[in-house]
Amino acid sequence: MNAPLADLRILAVEQYGAGPWGTMQLADLGAEVIKVEDPSVGGDVGRYVHPYQEGEDSLFYEAFNRNKRSISLDLRHPDARAVFEDVAANVDAIFSNLRGDQPGKLRLRFRDLEHVNPRIVCCSLSGFGTTGPRAREGAYDYTLQGLAGWQSVTGGPDDPPTKSGLSLVDFCGGYVAAIAILAGVWRARREGRGADVDLALFEVALAQLNYMGTWAASRGYEPVRRARSAHQSMVPFQNFATADGWLVVACPKQNLWRKLCEAIGRPELGDDERFRGFGERNANRDELLLILDGIFASRTTDDWLETLTAAGVPSAPVNDVAAALADAQVAAREGIAEYEHPSLATVRQPATPFRIEEAELPLERGPRRGEHTAEVLREIGYGDDRIEELAASGVFGDVRVEVAS
């Protein structure tokens, strides 16, 4: 396979959301991701998330774990450490998404593993990092959206603090982890020595505050919740009610504002001193929105989309999830991946967004718990007698490993 990351191997002590999402990006690009599942808890908790869950398989788990392999290994078992180190000696990176105090306790750091692999990169993605007063605390996307200020700027002005409809801290954290692993491995291959990578979802969330965070840190700016998901300072840049639904209109450039004025049949608004520039429109947003609300409510969403698209004004319908997946653009670019699963039947999910010329990217179902345990161990030189011995000792927990008869 000519996938871009076909020569990258990662041993991932991961579960649930942020971690599996990050390594799946690398697996989608051809990296070999060996997922370590703890048999004492039934493996990745994502396997048991409802709805659409059957035994140890679920559509939730599939959404985070395609193109990976799975080994079952109880890292707290006295015989497991040697097995773990033998696998670690043959990979480029160790990745974990555990509480910040766990990489030290489980000896997943560079200092713990450099004796078996001096070029190994040990990447930890935790709620708050491995140092500081919160290092021992667990964290979830929902709690971090509150702690990092996201909920204070989401929703309407009269709404209670509101979480994003998507797990964006987890997803952003996964992307950051994927980039950090690549950067660490790149440097290790160049310099011949690995290192620790210490990532915190809280810091990822703070980084996503971006311009609002910069304004607040530099000038004491206090962001507010805007009605109809409006931008903090650019007007118009929000949802508008039409005669039969909702429409998003975005004018983040001055020329787009003037195009909008022409498209709605009100060219004089472009020269109105109240609305001429960015600052004026922001200062007089209530007056402007009163005008625009009446205009957009006069026609259907499809009518406005036809008009605004022809005029070059960025706009879109406010779709539900099903409508988004049914958009013609999705079909044209094969944006839905499909494969058969032994217990879940046909699985359809959003495809990887990576589009790399002349690269054949993999598409395989998520692995069964411990499915590749014997296979991976054989690849690093274990014989069947040794694998059977380890299975009898309980290192693999309740997972049955297939060995030659």
Predicted pLDDT at 402? 79
Least confident window among 46-50, 215-219, 236-240, 356-360: 356-360
The answer to whether 375 and 87 are in contact (CB under 8 A) is no
Percentage above 70 pLDDT, the chain: 99
Superfamily for the 9-208+347-393 domain? Crotonobetainyl-coa:carnitine coa-transferase; domain 1 (3.40.50.10540)
Predicted pLDDT at 403? 76
160: which DSSP letter?
A: P
The answer to whether 20 and 46 are in contact (CB under 8 A) is yes
Q: What is the mean pLDDT of residues 49-64?
A: 97
Question: Is a pLDDT exceeding 60 seen at residue 173?
Answer: yes
* Confidence at 1, pLDDT banded by 50, 70, 90: low
Is 84 buried (19+), middle (13-18) or exposed (0-12) by CB count in 10 A? buried
Predicted pLDDT at 296? 97
**Dist. CA 22–CA 176, nearest whole Å:** 8
Radius of gyration for the chain, computed over Cα atoms and rounded to the nearest angstrom: 25
pLDDT (tens digit per residue) in 286-297: 999 999 999 999
Q: Could you state, in order of their start, the residue ranges of all structural domains in the chain? A: 9-208+347-393, 227-241+246-317
Predicted pLDDT at 405? 53
Percentage above 90 pLDDT, the chain: 98
273: which DSSP letter?
A: T
Q: Respond yes or no: is residue 231 known to be catalytic.
A: yes
- Which CATH fold topology does 227-241+246-317 show? formyl-coa transferase, domain 3 (3.30.1540)
Q: What are phi and psi of 258, to 5 degrees?
A: -70, -35
Alpha-carbon torsion, ordered 301, 307, 310, 316, to 10 deg: -20
* Confidence at 105, pLDDT banded by 50, 70, 90: very high
Q: What are phi and psi of 285, to 5 degrees?
A: -60, -40
The number of beta carbons lying within 10 Å of the beta carbon of residue 378 is 16
DSSP string, 326-369: T-HHHHHTT-EEEEEETTTEEEEEEPP----TT------PPPPT
3-class state of residue 165 by DSSP: coil
The structure tokens 């440097």 sit at 187
Q: What is the mean pLDDT of residues 202-219?
A: 97
- Identity of the amino acid at 58: S
Options 50, 231, 341, 372, the catalytic residue:
231
